Chain A
Amino acid sequence: MKVVVCVARVVDTDEPLPVRSGKVALEEEGLRHVLNPADEYALEEGLRLKDRFPGSGVTAISMGPPGSESVLRRCLALGADHALLLWDEAFRGSDTLATARILAAGIRQVGADVVLCGKRASDGDTGQVGAQLAELLDLPAVTSVLQLEVKDGEALVHRRLERGRREVLRCPLPALFAVEEGINRPRYPKLRVLLRSRAAEVPRRGLADLGLRPDEVGEMGSCAQVVDVSPPKPITKGLFIPDSSLSPEERWEQIVSGGMEERRGDVIQGPPDTVAERLLQFLTQNNFV
């Protein structure tokens, strides 16, 4: 089975970022980049398919600047068999659809029975590329995947829905799956493989190799344009004054947490049965039971 996992290098959003108003992008200097956390789960799911179906190959593929080699090496260290970087200066500024076009061209060349993606990139957070890639490759696709079971040329997939519902879908292969974070527990690299991955050659393909036109990719091929990036505007609240009866530490915590608005609710007191009855009334009146 041929498995392709799409991965991305992202800005590490666990660290505070130098966001300044009016800029279109962050200043690259000093930013830490990591393998997109959601993609680690996608890769792990691919590696599990390889464990289950001997003779399978896992290819990690990424669209991004040369620095993305580091995350592809990380995939090799974790157990991917091949890595492929798709980059050309013409790709710079691609929106999700242009990115999907580039990845689609790469995947067509490599060939895939199963394409795996993470749910979203932690920096751009669009969650669009997977579904768009599936449309461009004309593959059946399931997003928000919580469980993936491949058997006899088809997949049984659990898709996460709101309010705790799950859809179980049957999907023929080849297909694309965008997996949820937490679908599995990603493995650690083996030292031997990790060391080997550091010296591995990561092949690169550009515009001409992929047979793409300059007006399909990059800024020229993108519809959505970021006008500016700014620090998020806080939701304004009334002036908050911490309760003076609290210890300084607790007051400080209240201030830091944005303050708790006091709710003026009714106090119910009395014998347990009366109280329980009043509570039940509140619950039924508000349709909670």
Chain B
Amino acid sequence: MREEPTGGVWVIVDHTGDEVEGIALELLGQARELADRLGLSAAAVVLGDDVRGLAPLLGQCGADSVYLAEGPLLGAYNPDAYAPLLADLIHRERPLIVLWGATDQGRDLAPRVAARLGTGLASNCTRVDLSEDGLLLMTRPVYGGQASCNVVCPQARPQMATLQPGAVPAKRPDPSRQAQVIAVDVSLSSQSLRLRLEEVIKIPPSALDVTEAEVIVAGGRGVGSEAGFHLVEQVAHLMGAAVAASRPVVDAGWAPYERQVGLSGKTVAPRLYIACGISGVNHHVVGMKDSRAVVAIDQDPQAPIFQIADVKIVGDLHQVLPSLVERLRRLRQERGTAEDAEVLRTLTDVPAARRDS
């Protein structure tokens, strides 16, 4: 029997600088469970600039120790800094398993570190488990989702996997738990960084692709006209949400095809979907039924959209939406931050379809 490394089960933490991303907490729950079954410790690894404040939560969510690598050059993700640092750390501390989030960062970073360490990696996993002989069994979709395959990494260590967000539920934080914080030596020179970050562009939510949006306001046949659809656009603009449409609206030319949600359009699963004047025929509903919360506004109390709505508003959208626009506008005015002012300044009275032509 070969001797296995005893460095434990690691999670590479995704964070925004101030907050730990949900995926990292999900991974920690998974790491905790694997570590308990293997009789090993669980550790979280955080790279960033001044991120000490994240350690307590990571401890509460299951980490026995937190490796902290801090430095001004680690403030924004740069593979030229992150990859060698992590490869060194893993090489030195010898974890048995390393879990990553299948996020922008994890998908870029994990393969690089795997290449540096000469170990295997299974990406986009939906599940990890232990096989009968104690290997990490990594389950991932292949062939465009037509099959799933199980992958193991029998020889090389650590065994590494990136997991899709939402694949495992996060555990509730236990306030009595505490993690030991281990500072990692960071010796980096800015000359070793070949990529230079020029700027981060934030796409205005109304222009954001509907599949990427967290909140969507959608209009259907019930908007009645281009002007009616513009009410939907105004609500979306004021909420910082993306605009979507059902097919009749797109066919009428009030919204471009790229905004269409449904069987012949895009499939979305935002945190909130506000359906305005959408009756809810199946062709539309299949494209949005996985939305976390659904608000429906329609005149017909029998409209099928209400069957899948969490908030059901029976009323005329041509009266409800202007009132909502007014209230949202007032809310922005009262809050009065620079962002609010910008949103109010760019609120237009002209429908988008007409603006473009």
A257 CA / B328 CA spacing, docked (Å): 36
Q: Which of B277-313 contact A (CB under 8 A)?
A: 281-282, 285-286, 289, 293-295, 301, 306-313
Q: How far is the CB of B84 from chain A (nearest CB, A)?
A: 10
Partner of B324, one of A135, A263, A266, A279: A279
Cross-chain contact A17 with B146 (CB below 8 angstroms): yes
Given known A134-B112, A227-B137, A276-B320, contact A282–B119 (CB-CB < 8 A): no
Cross-chain contact A95 with B200 (CB below 8 angstroms): no
Q: Tell me the nearest residue of chain A to B193, going by C-beta.
A: A140
Given known A134-B112, A169-B195, contact A161–B153 (CB-CB < 8 A): no
Q: Tell me the nearest residue of chain B to A122, going by C-beta.
A: B144
B215 within 8 A of A: yes
A250 CA / B286 CA spacing, docked (Å): 12
Q: Mark B314-327, 1 if CB is under 8 A from A, else 0.
A: 11100111111011
Q: Which of A29-65 contact B (CB under 8 A)?
A: none
B331 within 8 A of A: yes
Cross-chain contact A164 with B80 (CB below 8 angstroms): no
A129 CA / B123 CA spacing, docked (Å): 11
Q: How far is the CB of B331 from chain A (nearest CB, A)?
A: 7
Task: Determine the chain A residues whose CB is within 8 A of the CB of B107 once the complex forms.
Answer: 127, 143-144
Task: Determine the chain B residues whose CB is within 8 A of the CB of A100 once the complex forms.
Answer: 115
Q: Tell me the nearest residue of chain B to A141, going by C-beta.
A: B79
Q: How far is the CB of B237 from chain A (nearest CB, A)?
A: 12
Q: Mark A4-15, 1 if CB is under 8 A from B, else 0.
A: 000000010110
Q: Which of B129-164 contact A (CB under 8 A)?
A: 137, 140-156
B268 within 8 A of A: no
Cross-chain contact B149 with A229 (CB below 8 angstroms): yes
A149 CA / B145 CA spacing, docked (Å): 33
A124 CA / B309 CA spacing, docked (Å): 37
Given known A135-B83, A162-B103, A164-B208, contact A128–B121 (CB-CB < 8 A): yes
B33 within 8 A of A: no
B40 within 8 A of A: no
A272 CA / B137 CA spacing, docked (Å): 56
Q: Which of B67-111 contact A (CB under 8 A)?
A: 79-80, 83, 103-104, 107-111
A36 CA / B4 CA spacing, docked (Å): 38
Task: Determine the chain B residues whose CB is within 8 A of the CB of A266 once the complex forms.
Answer: 310-312
Given known A168-B201, A228-B149, contact A279–B295 (CB-CB < 8 A): yes
A184 within 8 A of B: no
Cross-chain contact A289 with B239 (CB below 8 angstroms): yes
Partner of A277, one of B110, B271, B327: B327
Cross-chain contact A272 with B201 (CB below 8 angstroms): no
Q: Tell me the nearest residue of chain A to B196, going by C-beta.
A: A170
A159 CA / B113 CA spacing, docked (Å): 20
Cross-chain contact A171 with B195 (CB below 8 angstroms): yes
A172 CA / B194 CA spacing, docked (Å): 7
Q: Mark A138-174, 1 if CB is under 8 A from B, else 0.
A: 0011111000000000001011111111111111100
A19 within 8 A of B: yes
A136 CA / B153 CA spacing, docked (Å): 20
Q: How far is the CB of B330 from chain A (nearest CB, A)?
A: 10
Cross-chain contact B328 with A280 (CB below 8 angstroms): yes
A209 within 8 A of B: no
A28 within 8 A of B: no
Q: Which of A244-279 contact B (CB under 8 A)?
A: 250, 253-254, 257, 260-263, 265-270, 272-273, 275-277, 279
B218 within 8 A of A: no
Partner of B147, one of A231, A243, A262: A231
A141 CA / B195 CA spacing, docked (Å): 8
A188 within 8 A of B: no
B246 within 8 A of A: no
Q: How far is the CB of A284 from chain B (nearest CB, A)?
A: 8
Q: How far is the CB of A192 from chain B (nearest CB, A)?
A: 34
Q: How far is the CB of B12 from chain A (nearest CB, A)?
A: 15
Task: Determine the chain A residues whose CB is within 8 A of the CB of B301 once the complex forms.
Answer: 267
Q: Which of A180-198 contact B (CB under 8 A)?
A: none
Task: Determine the chain B residues whose CB is within 8 A of the CB of A267 once the complex forms.
Answer: 301, 306, 312-314
Cross-chain contact B310 with A132 (CB below 8 angstroms): no
Cross-chain contact B309 with A163 (CB below 8 angstroms): no
Task: For the A-B complex with A136-B115, A163-B212, A163-B214 known, give 19 more contacts whose Cβ atoms are closer than 8 Å.
Answer: A11-B143, A126-B123, A127-B123, A140-B195, A165-B200, A167-B201, A169-B196, A171-B196, A223-B119, A224-B122, A232-B141, A265-B312, A267-B312, A267-B313, A268-B313, A272-B316, A277-B323, A277-B327, A288-B239
